[in-house]
Amino acid sequence: MEQSDKVRIDKWLFAMRLFKTRSLAADHCNRERVLIAGHSVKPSRLIKAGDEITIAGTGFKQVFQVLKLSDRRLSPKLVPDYCKNITPQEELDKLTMIRAQKSLLRERGSGRPTKRERRDLDEFINW
């Protein structure tokens, strides 16, 4: 893993597994959803250890502190050594509430069947 004094923000966000692809990280930066010190940043912005990065989602914000720098994708076990999640508790509560609401809004019969519905279907067809 390369250690340097500064790394591009889009590379770092991807390396810390905060985004599935680097282009998604760059897209969030371009849409002004990634902030450092309250200012939106471009994907090419260089970050350093100690920076606080805010990622704005839909209805909530996550805050991370940069501990170490890496521009290569890390294994999930190593991520806590490189960044620290310092999101306030009220934002975490918003996130859990949003996730709970999404799971409640699924209409029965829409989309893919649940495991139980599939088993019932298999039992009905193969009786």
Q: What is the CATH number of the domain that holds 93?
A: 3.10.290.10
Q: What range does the domain containing 117 cover?
A: 7-125
Condensed to tens digits (0 to 9), the pLDDT of residues 74-98 reads: 999 999 999 999 999 998 898 888 8
Average pLDDT over residues 31-53: 94
The whole-number average pLDDT for the span 98-121 is 76
Residue 2 domain-assigned (yes or no): no
Q: What is the mean pLDDT of residues 24-40?
A: 94
pTM value is: 0.75
Mean pLDDT of 1-23: 88
For position 118, what pLDDT does the model report?
85
Q: What's the confidence (pLDDT) of residue 104?
A: 65
1-32 b/e with 16+ CB inside 10 Å = b? Answer: eeeeeebbbbbbbbbbebbeebeebbebbeee
Confirm whether 85 is domain-assigned: yes
Domain count, the chain: 1
Domain assignment present for 42: yes
Q: Is residue 1 part of a domain?
A: no
Percent of the chain at pLDDT > 70 equals 90
* Domain-located, residue 18: yes
Strand bridging mode 7-8 / 46-47: antiparallel
